[in-house]
């Protein structure tokens, strides 16, 4: 499923961004870390736009896409089984 594929890639990239940002908090002069951080965030933001255009908003008051209808309230929500993708890949 396309949504699972995009969401999985976005989850991977956002995790890298969280971890790199935390690393940069204590290593602010690491040029390699900053370069990697910029690459990751730029790819993630591109994917965010793609995800929002296809599957609805990721934020209630910030947008990476044009919003024609207010579908923020659409099910499923992240704490629900149906929202998430399978980690191992098989099902």
Partner 1 sequence: MWIYEKKQEFPVKIKQQNPALAKLIITQYGGPDGELGASLRYLSQRYAAVTPQSKAILNDIGTEELAHLEMIGSICHQLSKDIDPAEIKAAGFDSYYVDHGTGVYPASAAGVPFTAAYFQSKGDPLTDLYENLAAEQKARSTYEYLMRMTDDPDVLEPLRFLREREIVHFQRFGEALEGVREYLDSKRQFTVKMPKNE
Q: Provide the binding-site residues for partner 1, judged by CB under 8 A.
A: 7-8, 10-11, 14-15, 18-19, 21-23, 25-28, 57-62, 72, 77-81, 83-88
| 3-class secondary structure per residue, 53-90 | HHHCCCCCCCCCCCCCCCCCCCCCCCCCHHHCCCCCCC
Distance between CA atoms of 23 and 30, rounded to whole angstroms?
9
Closest approach of partner 1 to the CB of residue 39, in Å: 20
For partner 1, give the closer residue by CB, 40 or 57. 57
For partner 1, give the closer residue by CB, 34 or 58. 58
Please tell me whether the peptide bond between 27 and the residue prior to it is cis, using omega within 30 degrees of 0. no
Closest approach of partner 1 to the CB of residue 62, in Å: 6
The DSSP output letter for 13 is H
Closest approach of partner 1 to the CB of residue 91, in Å: 9
For partner 1, give the closer residue by CB, 32 or 90. 90
């Amino acid at each position: 499923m396309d949504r699972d594929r995009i969401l999985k890639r976005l989850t991977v990239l956002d995790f890298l961004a969280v971890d790199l940002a935390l690393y940069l908090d204590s290593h602010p002069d690491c040029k390699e870390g900053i370069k990697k951080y910029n690459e990751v965030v730029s790819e993630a933001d591109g994917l965010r736009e793609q995800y929002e255009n296809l599957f609805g908003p990721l934020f209630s008051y910030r947008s990476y896409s044009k919003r024609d209808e207010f579908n923020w309230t659409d099910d499923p929500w992240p704490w629900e089984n149906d929202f998430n993708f399978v980690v191992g890949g098989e099902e």
